[in-house]
Structure 1
Amino acid sequence: MPEVIAFDVNETLLDLRALDEPFQRLFGAPGMRTQWFGTMLQLSFVGGLTGSYVDFTTAQRAALRMLAERERVALTERQVTDTVALMERLPPHPDVPRALARLAGSPLRLVALTNSVATTAHAQLAHAGLLGLFEHVVSADTVRRLKPAPEPYHEVARVCGVTPGGIRLVAAHTWDVSGALAAGCHAAFVGRPGAVPSPLGPRPDIVAPDIATAADLILERDAGGPPAAPMPPGHRP
């Protein structure tokens, strides 16, 4: 039974839609933020597949330059730096603080597992008021292998002193859920707007429309009892 609940950060906990307006200002068209993020993931994954590791921040900067070149928009280095820095100031999705606080009041151990570099991850969670709810913040950059490769999930197991089977990943990305399952972990898929489970491969035993519902099911299945009473964010039992 899972005892460590590892949360993906970007899109799962934090709302990237806060970047829509800045990208609209830069490129003058809707939907540029989603194209940028998708290009960034592609660059990161290609780096992993070809054995040329690319950290998330480097991929974000490169993807922004590619998008600007494609759209024939001249961006200065300052604009690139300032835009990527906005990743550190994302708000949490509205359902996140209370759901995480409820889980933190249970016997389960909460960990953040992200492809972001460690400094960015800590800044993100601190800005969102969530940092104090996590026992550890694990960056895939420490093992120089990004999710969905097995190494980041196994790093959580190492840090927490459990087997992969003692971990449940919670993510809004099918590739992340698939990676966790392939690494021997459990998983919960969160159906953020536009996200649906993959029809290929093993399916997670929890599929929920939001973090609040996922928390209910995790408490029921992994904590062995009724949902815990809420506790304020930033407090650990």
Structure 2
Amino acid sequence: MVTVLAFDVNETLLDLSPLDAIVGGAETRRRWFSQMLQIAFVGGLTGSYVDFPTAQRAALEMLRLDCADEVAAGMRRLPLHPDVAPALARLRGFTLVALTNSPLSVVTEQLEFNGVASRFDAILSADTVRALKPRAEAYQHVGATLGVPLSEVRLVAAHGWDIAGALAAGCHGAFVRRSGQALIPVGAQPDIVVDDLVELADAL
């Protein structure tokens, strides 16, 4: 039985569109975020850990964007998607966890800025174990922190790669179809797919 809902933060809970004005548009922001993930993932695959802030700056450099400080500040002030707060209020019967690749100080500030940090029973960063999602160690960090098996954990995320990692680690998954996001159509699939978190609350 699932007792824990672990929420991805960037794009799943937080709307990244305010960064568009900093980097020069939505398409550039999407390219930057994708490049950042690639840099972080390559680090994980090659055994050379790259934290998210370093990957963010490197991706901006690759795109020849001179706005690293502005993006870093903007990341800490991103707004919630409008469905997040009402959904969290309805999901209090579960143990709620935030699980991100961002450093713990960043995600804590993000959630406090939006007034929802207290809604979570734990705020966790994969950076703590130096193994970013979708590495299994990131999801195992949830189980180890809470003292529960991963079979009791459901990852809620808007990224197909995150869902794939969670399922491979032994978690359940719930995919949120945020704009521009899709599941990876090969491999294990989550048993819940929703358009937003209110629909997730209805499903649970």
Q: Normalising by structure 2, what TM-score?
A: 0.97
SS of equivalent to 1:156: helix
SS of equivalent to 2:99: strand
How far is the alpha carbon of 1:141 from its aligned partner? 0.4
Q: Which runs of 5+ in 1 are unaligned?
A: 219-237
SS of equivalent to 1:31: helix
Q: Distance in 1 between matches of 2:105 and 2:46?
A: 26
Query: Paired residue for 2:50, among 32, 50, 54?
Result: 54
Q: Distance in 2 between matches of 1:61 and 1:143?
A: 21
Instruction: Report the count of equivalent residues.
Output: 204
Q: String of CA shifts for 1:34-56, please: whole Å, max 9, x gaps.
A: 11101100000000000000001
Partner in structure 1 of residue 85 of structure 2 = 97
Q: Distance in 2 between matches of 1:19 and 1:12?
A: 15
Question: Does 1:37 pair with 2:25?
Answer: no
Which amino acid letter does the alignment assign opposite residue 9 of structure 2? V
How far is the alpha carbon of 1:82 from its aligned partner? 2.3
Q: String of CA shifts for 1:136-161, please: whole Å, max 9, x gaps.
A: 11100011000000001101001111
The answer to whether the 8 Å contact 2:77/2:113 transfers is yes
Aligned-residue CA RMSD in angstroms?
1.1
Q: Distance in 1 between matches of 2:26 and 2:46?
A: 32
Q: Which runs of 5+ in 2 are unaligned?
A: none
Q: Distance in 2 between matches of 1:46 and 1:11?
A: 21
Partner in structure 1 of residue 69 of structure 2 = 81
Q: Distance in 2 between matches of 1:161 and 1:215?
A: 24
Written as runs of structure 1 = structure 2, the 5 A alignment for 1:1-237 is: 1-24=1-24, 30-68=26-64, 75=66, 79-104=67-92, 106=93, 108-218=94-204
Q: String of CA shifts for 1:189-208, please: whole Å, max 9, x gaps.
A: 00001112221111101000
Q: Distance in 1 between matches of 2:135 and 2:184?
A: 17
Partner in structure 2 of residue 229 of structure 1 = none
SS of equivalent to 2:139: helix
Percent identity, aligned pairs only, is 54
SS of equivalent to 2:154: strand
Q: Distance in 2 between matches of 1:128 and 1:173?
A: 22
The answer to whether the 8 Å contact 2:143/2:149 transfers is yes
How far is the alpha carbon of 1:14 from its aligned partner? 0.2
How far is the alpha carbon of 1:30 from its aligned partner? 4.9
Q: Distance in 2 between matches of 1:188 and 1:127?
A: 25
Q: Distance in 2 between matches of 1:64 and 1:84?
A: 11
Structure showing greater Rg: 1
SS of equivalent to 2:97: strand
